[in-house]
A and B are shown apart, each in its own frame.
Chain A
Amino acid sequence: MAGSPIVIVGAGQGGMQAAASLRDAGFDGPVTLVGAEPQPPYDRPPLSKQYLNGEVDAAALALRTPAFYQNQDIDLRVDTRVAGIDRANAAVVLDSGARLPYERLILATGSIPRRLPVPGADHPGVLVLRTLAQARVLRDRLAAPRRVVVIGAGFTGLEVAAAARSAGHEVTVIEALDRVLARAVSVPVSEHVTRLHRGRGVDIRFGRQVETIEGEADGPLRAVRLAGGESVPADLVVVGIGVVPDTALAAEAGLAVANGVVVDAYLRTSDPAIHAIGDCALFPSPFADDPLRLESVQNAVDQAKCAAEFIAKDGLAARPYSAVPWFWTDQYSDKLQIAGITTGHDRTELAGDPEQGRFSVHCFRGERLVGVESINRPAEHIKARRQLAAAGTLAGAV
């Protein structure tokens, strides 16, 4: 493939890794990495953790130095939006009208925060957290004492709640379901995380629907009004109700799209010249019965490596994507780690002692171990990953 240009759309963790891994795999043709955000690829997880609580600044988040892109001959185009994909002529069309011809295209477009569909959600006091620019706004607003209402008890919402509460703000979390992280973790882990937050003084309210967000049109927020009439005073609202895959370019280009850009085991879309990786890709996995779409650093990085190797070797001796999914979140000083895909388990086994704040939940479907959730037991997590990898290899070989 020497000499054939490769274009990567999306300069997040996955896009950057794809570019780097193409070079690692010996690809020496042109590589262009296109990103809509103004800064070079940066580390996103700290935005809701160490960046928000002031432990690290923006400069420390850069994934690679500027010299790296130069040395690796990666044409990094930040602040650059893509208008469309001209598949017939194998070119990416930029907003500026410029065209980037490709032999292979990698879509690493990521995901977009889900918007809250209620009146008042567009008030400037209502924030979401996905990008560095959004994190900067949130960090600035948290410089003065606030009554913060977090809508959604998912990973991002709870990390924001933890950071805000640790900084002394009054924090209320509104969740539609009956427990935190309900779609992601088992009941014992939910209960532990709820205890952590309530122990720190966060007011968590379950089973609540937001009806409106009230505030002055050009002034401060007043309150979040819930179905049933309850009203929660608020100076600042952070919406963390999940993300949707950014599939717009793929869909407009006529690629197969469902809850994500549909790819095969080699991460190829319905057009074999186009791969999709990371948050935006819906892929078959040995760790789940149905196609998966995962929002994690691990998934972005490992899929980038897989796609890059496939492309650099032109599909020769290609290996299907089979990395063990894993994920982590920091809640105050506690670390929650998940290995495997634990959703859809029908039985759990507890190891360790929740009272001591160090335990693991082994999640089974039938006889099969599908994943392990660990609180403050990093060694257990690593063991679980190795165990799942071995089992996954066996399953794949059958």
Chain B
Amino acid sequence: MATITYRHPDGSTTVLDVPSGSNVMRGALANGVDGIEGECGGDGICATCHVYIEQCPVAFPPVDENEDELLDCTASPRRDNSRLSCQLPITDELSTLVVLLPEKQV
């Protein structure tokens, strides 16, 4: 399980405990967090679960070719710390994580 802080563009935050086996997108959707759409449910095809990673103590799987292509199509600008949150698994090694949500997803 990991404690994830979702920072909203307006400065407010949502803090959630998300179980291992889930991912950063699913954690947000399951709890109705605004700012992540996840239109494809995590299939890695829609680029509407974009986040900026602000603090992460472990290494996530690297950006693959598909995610790289999608990150070029996000509704808010891509930055060096951009990821699709459906590609960020929650593992037992991950204890805390802070992500910033973009201005828009669609």
Contact = CB atoms under 8 A, between A and B. Distances in A.
Contacts of B45: 328, 335, 337, 378, 381
Contact of B30 (A68, A301, A379): A68
A372 interface: no
Interface string A369-382: 00000000111011
Interface of A: 20, 24, 43, 45-46, 49, 60, 62-65, 67-68, 71-72, 297-298, 301, 328, 330, 335, 337, 377-379, 381-383
Contact of A64 (B22, B31, B41, B46): B31
Interface string B44-71: 1111000000000000000000100110
B85 to A, nearest CB: 15
Highest count of chain A CB atoms <10 Å: which of B29, B41, B47: B41
B6 to A, nearest CB: 15
Nearest to B27: A65
Nearest to A297: B41
Nearest to A337: B45
Closest 8 CB pairs of A and B: A382-B73, A379-B69, A65-B30, A379-B73, A378-B45, A68-B32, A43-B41, A378-B70
A378 B73 CA distance: 9
Interface majority SS (helix, strand, loop, mixed), chain B: loop
Contacts of A377: 69
B66 A378 contact: yes
B92 interface: no
Interface majority SS (helix, strand, loop, mixed), chain A: helix
B83 interface: no
A379 B32 contact: no
A63 B30 contact: yes
A298 B40 CA distance: 8
A298 B72 CA distance: 22
Given A60-B26, A378-B73, A379-B70, A72 B32 contact: yes
A49 B31 CA distance: 24
A378 B70 CA distance: 7
A68 B28 CA distance: 11
A71 B31 CA distance: 10
Highest count of chain B CB atoms <10 Å: which of A67, A68, A328, A382: A382
Given A60-B22, A60-B26, A382-B73, A65 B31 contact: yes
A297 B40 CA distance: 8
B30 A64 contact: yes
A108 B89 CA distance: 32
